[in-house]
Amino acid sequence: MVNRSAQEHLLYIQEKVNPILEALVTAVLLERPDDPAFFMLKWLCEQSKSLDGQDRAGGGQAEEIEAVRAEIAEIKRLKEQKAELEKGLGSEKAQASRPAAKEEDKTQDDEEDEEEDDDDDEADMPPPPINRGPRQSVSAEAYGVWNKKASFTAPVYEKTPEQSARIIKCLEPSFLFQALDKAEMQTVILAFKEKVCQSGDRIIEQGADGNSMFLIEDGTFDCIIKFKNTGEEKVVKSCKQGDVFGELALLYNCPRAASVQATSTSTVWELDRDTFSNVVKEAASNKRNKYTDFLKKVNVLSNMADYEIMSVADAAKVEEFTEKDSVVIKQGDPGDRFFILLEGECEARKVFVPGSEAQKVMSYKVGDYFGELALLNNDNRGASVYTTSPTCKLLYMDRKSFGRLCGNLEDILRREAKRYETSASSNS
């Protein structure tokens, strides 16, 4: 067995396992099946199929998956048969338990009493099932008649402009905070509370409930995991200035996965659970729901599984242009972003001979994408892209997110790159 470090295991879990588990839990919460285990097994089997109906797994794995599917179908059939039998048995028992004397002794004078009894029976009937309403993501709280969403006012801790700027800079890389608009971001910044830690202080204890997340202003921290079988503690990660930790327990409502201990005198900004849930998590959930539906309609993403689409929606940022002929990307510049057109129109213009006028080589409408070649080939931009409508809105991913989330699309994108060669030849 290959010996891998704890960091590699954590990275694998974060990038490969967590997206699948999150999508699976989302599906379970949306459907709320009577038999969750059966539903989850069926969902995982369905996810193993690609768009053309072929299994993603190969060889014997595909045969095993087909066998599991057959077993699922048989289990479903047996469950339905069992339900029918129980239904018939229940009807017979009800018929047998009904007192015969009640039928024989009924008179016209008793009818009013019976009507009153019927009214009482109706009052004892269980209420009809409540419509769950719009689908929710796993990051959203479930609110309804039994769990009403209370009004919320975030705490306020005043900060200097310099402190606010540093907090914003540290939060920018996190997809959770990318969904916040300016007003929401300001609310979150003011809600952060300063906390000073001494070397050796543990501000998070493994297994405890998560009540807050932290942003490191200065200092260093170790993430420590305690193994149950041996009681041994091991440092699996170190955090430094600008790092965020503790947010996963708030996002997934789960216990702390590790302890976090200061290794020097340090200052952190602490954000409480209520502000995180009511502002940060809700904004991230709304963003995911909004852009997931759009991304499913983008042709180049059609072969991606639902959980992969949701990951792209989480990582994508929005850039808006409010003037026609605005420059989105410039020929010759380093390529660090991949774009999908959300609203408006754009066109690509390329200078084929230095000093000559740029020629139009491509038009883009809603759902089209561009900018991927420079990321795939680690090259400079091959053409400039301008907006051709008064307003334009684009989803984009940076190089790191593109490489991590769209790795499975590389072959498709390279094949589709022939469209640029066709456009170039038609303009030559």
- What pLDDT digit, counting tens, does each position of 26-58 carry? 777 766 777 788 888 877 877 665 434 444 444
Domain count, the chain: 2
> 326-374 pLDDT, tens per residue?
999 999 999 888 899 999 999 999 999 999 999 999 999 999 999 888 8
Q: Are residues 301 and 422 in the same domain?
A: yes
Q: Are residues 241 and 361 in the same domain?
A: no
Residue-number span of the structural domain to which 324 is assigned: 296-426
The secondary structure of residue 215, as a DSSP letter, is: E
Domain boundary among 253, 280, 307: 280
Tokens of 190: 């003011």
164 and 189 in contact (C-beta within 8 Å)? yes
pTM of the model: 0.50
Residue written as tokens 């004397």? Answer: 101
| In the predicted structure, residue 113 carries a pLDDT above the cut 60 | no
Choose among 318, 261, 308, 281: nearest CA to 406. 308
Is 289 part of a structural domain of the chain? no
Q: Are residues 169 and 270 in the same domain?
A: yes
The model's confidence at residue 407, banded by pLDDT at 50, 70 and 90, is: low
Say how far apart CA 337 and CA 204 lie, in whole Å.
36
Instruction: Please count the residues of the chain.
Output: 428
Distances (CA, A) of 411 to 19, 163, 374, 406, 417: 22, 44, 15, 10, 10
* CATH (domain of 183): 2.60.120.10
Kindly report which listed range (74-78, 211-215, 219-223, 263-267) carries the lowest average pLDDT score: 74-78
Q: How many other β-carbons are positioned within 10 Å of the β-carbon of residue 342?
A: 19
Q: Are residues 372 and 325 in the same domain?
A: yes
Under DSSP, is residue 214 helix (H, G, I), strand (E, B) or coil? strand
Q: Looking at mean pLDDT, say which of 87-91, 93-97, 235-239 comes out highest.
A: 235-239
> 205-257 pLDDT, tens per residue?
999 998 999 999 999 999 999 998 888 999 999 999 888 899 888 877 889 99
Residue written as tokens 């084929």? Answer: 352
Identify the residue with better confidence: 144 or 297.
297
